[in-house]
Amino acid sequence: MKKCIKLLNMFFKQSTEELLIYRSTAVITLIFSFMFFAVEIIFGFIVYSYSSELAGLNFNQYMNLIFTATLITNIYQFFFTVGHENLSDYIVEGELDYILIRPVNSYFYYAFNRQDIPSLINILVTTLALIYNNRLNTDINFSVIVFYIICILLSVWTLFLVNQIVVCVAFWKEKVNKLLGMPEYFYDASSRPLGVYPGFIRFILSYIIPFGIITNDSSLILTERFPLVHLIYIILWNIIITIISVIIWKKGLKHYASAN
Amino acid sequence: MRYLYIALTEIKSKLTYRFDLGVEFFSKLIELTMTLAVWNAVFSSGITIRDYDKKSMIAYLVISSVLSFLYTFEPCFRLGKLIHSGRLSVQLIRPINLWKSGLAEQTGRKAIYFIILFIPFVIFAKLHNYFVLSIILFIVNFVMFYSLMAFISTVAFWLENTWPLRPVFSAVYSLLGGILFPLDILPEPVYRILVYNPFALVGHVTAKTLTGSNENIALYILISVFYTLIFYFLYKIFFKAGLKKYEGVGL
């Protein structure tokens, strides 16, 4: 445990140093996140200027959904996105060797290998937007906040698992650039009210790739009750998929070859 | 002729990685489904938004989404990759023009989409008697969009990494290009300003042309040509300035 904390501390230090080297990149990354945020808010305003409800959600609930989905993405981005971006390149270019010879768990080493520090600002801004949007909400109490945080953390792990499995395809296929973007498309689709989709898409986004549950139901905790069955389902899904992703990782490592 | 070979090589490369091509189509389909589902829910109460009913909105969104296959941001990162890897030095000593070879690459990359989209394009264009003008607008817009991307790509001389720009463009294109919604549902003064931006020309204006609800095609062609010239000259100026900063080691 002590070793893990030391390692995490070291990763954070390295990430901060990289941030200071690539300052302009960090600024652009920050701007793009804000732009996405702005596009989503503008889109929401336009849609709700023509309709008072969208698939049963009022404007406030819709904004909660957008902010919750963005918050989950930002936390995922902070912890995992840099590692995932590097991983497929390292697999294809044979640079994984340097990790494999270290006396650490390679799966978790790669998962937490780098933090995207500018995302911390995005997390802060999204949280403030959420607080502002719920400033008049009298249903929020301590237990709701705790429940909401638990759901957000579970959601981040769900997002990580789907991306991790997709990145591992690089062990078997050479050019996977477009495939790596697929979870993002599914996630974007899930950041809309699930009720707008036909039944089979709702089923896929709820139970196969449960991004729909993690975004929609997490945001509904703030205004309605969260279906406990879904929470249990997400916990089970995360446990099973974590095991599967570790198996895929191990099988991938067996398949991996380099000529260093 | 040499640029034709560059384009052909790109077509071959695209056909080699068919899995990638399939995934690209599938991702666009997800994106389109998402937008259509939201607007379908908005129209479910039977309302009309400005001139749009449910049917015309769906036609617009499908066309603008299909067009976005052709207008992508790869040329924006080409120069950055060359600078980062030092391969720019090799390109500079070759008897080719970097701007033209980039255009040839982009044309080759999009050739398959051109072929797939050509028949529906002709059907739509012929339906509204704007066939020749539509084709000209389409071609001019393609070159204009490439020129814009090539011009922006010159920032790579001053930035270490240009990849974070990609999502910025996606966001700008979705909003200003009218991919998420037609720009003419915005308040009139806002629409009047936005309709002449380069992203709107390739997205909103072309989609409106193909749905037969655009009568100022000649004006838009002129604006697009004007933008092309501006972006081309800006590219030249910035490329020249950037080269003074560029240091390549080895060949």
Dist CA A148 CA A150 (whole Å): 5
Q: For residue B64, give its domain range.
A: 2-245
Dist CA A40 CA A122 (whole Å): 14
Task: Say what the pLDDT of residue A161 is.
Answer: 95
Q: Pull the structure tokens for residue A156.
A: 């981040």
Dist CA A170 CA B197 (whole Å): 39
Average pLDDT over residues A66-87: 88
Identify which of A32, A55, A201 has the shortest CB distance to residue B168.
Answer: A32
* B91/chain A closest Cα distance in angstroms: 24
Question: Between chains, do B40 and A196 touch, taking CB under 8 Å as contact?
Answer: yes
Question: Between chains, do B174 and A39 touch, taking CB under 8 Å as contact?
Answer: yes
What residues form DSSP beta bridges with B235? none
- CB contacts under 8 A, A 212-251 vs B, are none
Percent of chain A residues topping a pLDDT of 70: 97
**CB-based contact (8 Å) between A47 and chain B?**
yes
Give the contacts of B212 (CB within 8 A, at least 6 positions apart): B124, B127, B128, B130
Task: Say what the pLDDT of residue A239 is.
Answer: 96
Task: Say what the pLDDT of residue A16 is.
Answer: 81
Nearest CA in chain B to A174: B17
Question: Between chains, do A36 and B171 touch, taking CB under 8 Å as contact?
Answer: yes
Average pLDDT over residues A69-76: 92
Mean pLDDT of chain A: 85
**Candidate from A94-98, A188-192, B117-121 with smallest mean pLDDT:** B117-121
Query: 3-class DSSP state for residue A140?
Result: coil
pLDDT in tens, B209-229: 887 777 788 999 999 999 999
Q: What are the residue ranges in chain B where pLDDT is below 70?
A: 124-129, 160-164, 249-251
The number of beta carbons lying within 10 Å of the beta carbon of residue A25 is 19
Which comes out higher in pLDDT, residue B222 or A36?
B222
Dist CA A108 CA A131 (whole Å): 33
Query: 3-class DSSP state for residue A57?
Result: strand
Provide the domain count of chain B.
1
Give the contacts of B40 (CB within 8 A, at least 6 positions apart): A196, B54, B58
Percent of chain A residues topping a pLDDT of 90: 28
Task: Say what the pLDDT of residue B128 is.
Answer: 66
Domain borders along chain A are 2-255
Q: What is the 3-state secondary structure (H, E, C) of chain B?
A: CHHHHHHHHHHHHHHHCHHHHHHHHHHHHHHHHHHHHHHHHHHCCCCCECCECHHHHHHHHHHHHHHCCCCCCHHHHHHHHHHHHCCHHHHHHCCCCHHHHHHHHHHHHHHHHHHHHHHHHHHHHHHCCCHHHHHHHHHHHHHHHHHHHHHHHHHHHCCCCCCCHHHHHHHHHHHHCCCCCCHHHCCHHHHHHHCCCHHHHHHHHHHHHHCCCCCCHHHHHHHHHHHHHHHHHHHHHHHHHHHHHCCCCCC
In a domain, B8, yes or no: yes
Which comes out higher in pLDDT, residue B94 or A176?
B94
Nearest CA in chain B to A38: B171
Task: Say what the pLDDT of residue B179 is.
Answer: 87
Task: Say what the pLDDT of residue B234 is.
Answer: 96
In a domain, B150, yes or no: yes
Q: Dihedral sign, CA of A54, A55, A60, A65?
A: negative
Which comes out higher in pLDDT, residue A21 or B176?
B176
**CB-based contact (8 Å) between A20 and chain B?**
no
pLDDT in tens, A3-17: 778 888 888 888 888
* Residues from chain B contacting residue A193 (CB–CB below 8 Å): 41
Dist CA A213 CA A69 (whole Å): 11
In a domain, B250, yes or no: no
Identify which of B24, B42, B186 has the shortest CB distance to residue A54.
Answer: B42
Cα B122 to chain centroid, rounded: 19
Angle in degrees, 0-180, between the axes of helices A119-133 and A23-50, rounded to the nearest 10: 30
